Structure 1
Amino acid sequence: MRSSLAVRTVGIAVGAALLQLIMITAFSWPAARTEPRDVPIVVAGPQAAAVAERLDRERPGAFDVRTERDETAARTALADREAYGAVVATASGPKVLTASAASPVVAQQLAALAQRLTQPAGAPTPGQGAAGQPVEDVVAADSDDPRGAGFGALALPLIMSGLAASVLLTFAIRAAAWRAAGVVLFALLGGLGVAGIAQGWLSLLPGSYLTVAGVMSLSILAVTGTVVGLAAAVGRAGIGVGTLTLLLLGNPLSAATSAPELLPQPWGDIGQLLPPGAAVTLLRSAAFFDGANAAGPVAVLAAWAVAGFVLLAVGDLRGRARDETAPDREPAMA
């Protein structure tokens, strides 16, 4: 008895220690390895080719450079979420356009790049006291959240609340149809509530309230529906699988505080295929860019939500089949 209890104690302690290491790695590793990797930017103007060559020489692999004919085309690319920034070669020198709404971190790095581009090639970068940099923020982040800290903090509560709701619905509601209805109702109420707080009280997001609420609801539906479906199809282990996938992978890889191109690859791309990353990207598009490039993240979130409901239906059918094939219980003795 004591030996089995000792083995169980050691096993739990070792398992918890391994889980702790996984969690620390999952949350710290992407942040520690954040740097530009093929970040899409535009170079425009008569000297665009020379500027692009200099960028490739000084920051190899950092930018995926595309050339445009003029500043107007460059601004359009930023507004359509086709690039994070632009370098416009003018007669007076390079001018840098940023879109801090897409990623404040990338915008800061492009501002530093502007300071470097104003210097001759090979010259040392000037210090903080240098002359003003020719930088314009074309699509700015919300004035009450210029660094995106509040925006980045939205992802984790959405996941945690979705996981909590999934557990409650799984254990408190037996009927699959009512469980599905609970998921939908929670997503609708949660989307309206979170959007109200984010836009009204905290003032983190511009744009249409109903549009932002719709994005929130779809995000919550994807998270909650996935875990409820896994729990129905797999059992309690499904809750663990869903939690590990969304919390340990989805949250740190969501790029909520940076950008997918700043994360080690292919993890940045994988993060966009998970609900947290798709939700962050869709929310940026809906709030700041009039829905530009929203089709991809909408498809990802819808696919996860549909998969969750399919799993819920499969689990319900399996449960009914077990109930029908189970032998009838003998009547109790008088």
Structure 2
Amino acid sequence: MRRTPVALGVLIAVAVVAVQALLIPLFAGPAANLAPRDLPVAVAGPPQVAAQVAAQLAAAHPGAFVITTVADPAAADASIRDRAVYGAIVVTPAGPEVHVASAASPTVAQLLTQAAAGLGPDVAVRDVVPVDPDDARGAGFGAGFLPLAITSLLAGVLVFLLVSRRAARLAALLAYAGLAGLAGAAVLIYWLGVLPGAYLAVAGALALTTLAVAAAMTGLAAVLDRGGLALGAVVMFLVGNALSGIPAAPELLPQPWGEVGQWLPIGAGGTLLRSVAYFDGQGAAAAVTVLSAYALGGLVLVLAGRRGLSPRPAVVAAEVAPELVPAR
């Protein structure tokens, strides 16, 4: 049955509103329910005292922390720099201290400071790995990462729509990723100053992230046509952005969604960028594995998929039987 233009318009409106109703809780739900959930932290000090502080912290915040006890402040700081924990409660003769890494997450650093306030008055706070001074709240990190995800999505779509040959698609995707990494690192480090340095490492992290998104988009489209573009946009960008944990930390999101976000390119890319920019690559192995899987998988799909868009019926008719196509 043929739909009237009015019915079609109403159907489109209903479909868009239905999608909107799903997207609002997808984005607002995790943001409204940020709280530590199995957040890795350390407690440093003499064994008996450290155990007592750990028990006190666990009782005051059930389910919030995964607590590891270490021998001394140096071991606690080493665990923070290795990204094994987000912070530490350090017991000293002068009283407890809180060691945090705002570079890992300014939000978590603030939460740990607040949690330690229950240990006593005037608890000293030491930032072991601080954020860049030009990005004191860490807002520039997340804001600067999102445009890379958008442009990578767009690059994947354009390569599929405008480049028909498989080899040319591969070349376009690799060229885009390399240039995006170099340019993005230059902007974040030298122009905006929201990252402290390590230009080549940051460029490499951005290149792998952008390749993962763009290649996966082109690869899905090469196999599933325009349906692949829709699937990639929904899963990698809409869902991936909402669950990335970049503004806060994956462990602050409702579970298992924080973990799911780390299996998608945007979440993994954010983790990788933090690791190479601030922690000398510590804690980056899982993110590199995830991003490499998307990048290589996307390139394989490009090779396995169709060379170009399926021509429209009018184009086929014009090529096969031009005498049947009315002259304009």
- TM-score under structure 2 normalisation? 0.91
Map of 1:203 onto structure 2: 193
Map of 2:173 onto structure 1: 183
Which residue of 279, 282, 289 corresponds with 2:279? 289
Distance 1:4 1:319, change over 3 A: closer
Map of 1:154 onto structure 2: 144
**Counterpart Cα distance in 2 of 1:32 and 1:305:** 32
After TM superposition, list the pairs within 5 Å mapping 1:51-200 onto structure 2.
Answer: 51-119=53-121, 132-200=122-190
Map of 1:36 onto structure 2: 36
Q: Residues 107-151 of structure 1, C-alpha deviation per residue, up to 9 Å, x if partnerless?
A: 0111122322115xxxxxxxxxxxx43110001111111211000
Unaligned 5+ runs, structure 1: 120-131, 321-328
Which residue of 224, 227, 233 corresponds with 1:237? 227
**Counterpart Cα distance in 2 of 1:29 and 1:112:** 23
Distance 1:112 1:172, change over 3 A: same
The answer on whether the counterparts of 2:103 and 2:129 sit within 8 Å (CA) in structure 1 is yes
**Counterpart Cα distance in 2 of 1:192 and 1:6:** 49
1:8 CA drift (Å) = 1.5
Secondary structure at the counterpart of residue 15 of structure 1: helix
1:331 CA drift (Å) = 8.7
**Counterpart Cα distance in 1 of 2:232 and 2:322:** 41
Determine whether 1:251 maps to 2:253. Answer: no
Distance 1:332 1:247, change over 3 A: closer
**Counterpart Cα distance in 1 of 2:211 and 2:116:** 42
Q: Residues 236-268 of structure 1, C-alpha deviation per residue, up to 9 Å, x if partnerless?
A: 010010000112111111111100100000000
Distance 1:33 1:332, change over 3 A: closer
The answer on whether the counterparts of 1:114 and 1:134 sit within 8 Å (CA) in structure 2 is no
Map of 1:6 onto structure 2: 6
In structure 1, what residue type is equivalent to 2:302? Answer: L
**Counterpart Cα distance in 2 of 1:166 and 1:245:** 14
**Counterpart Cα distance in 2 of 1:332 and 1:76:** 73
Distance 1:332 1:41, change over 3 A: closer
Unaligned 5+ runs, structure 2: 311-318, 324-328
Map of 2:25 onto structure 1: 25
The answer on whether the counterparts of 2:222 and 2:308 sit within 8 Å (CA) in structure 1 is no
Secondary structure at the counterpart of residue 66 of structure 2: strand
The answer on whether the counterparts of 1:285 and 1:292 sit within 8 Å (CA) in structure 2 is yes
**Counterpart Cα distance in 2 of 1:319 and 1:6:** 30
Map of 2:326 onto structure 1: none
Determine whether 1:261 maps to 2:263. Answer: no
1:316 CA drift (Å) = 3.2
Secondary structure at the counterpart of residue 7 of structure 1: helix
1:214 CA drift (Å) = 0.6
**Counterpart Cα distance in 2 of 1:100 and 1:272:** 20
1:330 CA drift (Å) = 7.6
The answer on whether the counterparts of 1:162 and 1:220 sit within 8 Å (CA) in structure 2 is yes
1:154 CA drift (Å) = 2.4
Map of 1:228 onto structure 2: 218
Secondary structure at the counterpart of residue 306 of structure 2: helix
Q: Residues 202-253 of structure 1, C-alpha deviation per residue, up to 9 Å, x if partnerless?
A: 1011231111001000000000000000010000010010000112111111
Please provide the CA RMSD for this pair.
2.1
1:22 CA drift (Å) = 2.1
**Counterpart Cα distance in 1 of 2:38 and 2:237:** 26
1:317 CA drift (Å) = 7.5
- TM-score under structure 1 normalisation? 0.89
In structure 2, what residue type is equivalent to 1:45? Answer: G
1:318 CA drift (Å) = 10
Q: How many residues align?
A: 314
**Counterpart Cα distance in 1 of 2:297 and 2:192:** 33
